[in-house]
Amino acid sequence: PEPAGPDQILMRLYGLTAAESRVARKLLELESPKLVTTFLCRSEEAMRCQLKSVFAKTGVNSQGRLLKLLYALASQ
């Protein structure tokens, strides 16, 4: 089988949807919710909603902690 990409890993580990996984991955790359919103062509409200859901599913309560978690996963 083909190795799982970052989106599939986040979906499997944390139960993220494909859209939430893309938001988390882009946040790791761009480190700015505003840039992610622009890059993914989403409204700020949709982005905020998805980010809150990502926080809840990963058990973090801030962007900094989410980035720390994602960096740790990326380094494995």
In this predicted model, what pLDDT tens digit does every residue of 35-68 receive, in sequence order?
A: 888 888 888 888 889 999 999 999 999 999 999 9
Q: Longest C-alpha distance within the chain, in Å?
A: 37
Q: Is 14 exposed, middle or buried (0-12, 13-18, 19+ CB in 10 A)?
A: middle
Q: Return all residues near 18 (Cβ < 8 A) that are at least 6 apart.
A: 7, 11
Neighbours of 20 (CB within 10 A): 22
List, in sequence order, every beta strand (DSSP E) within the chain. Answer: none
What does pTM read for this prediction? Answer: 0.85
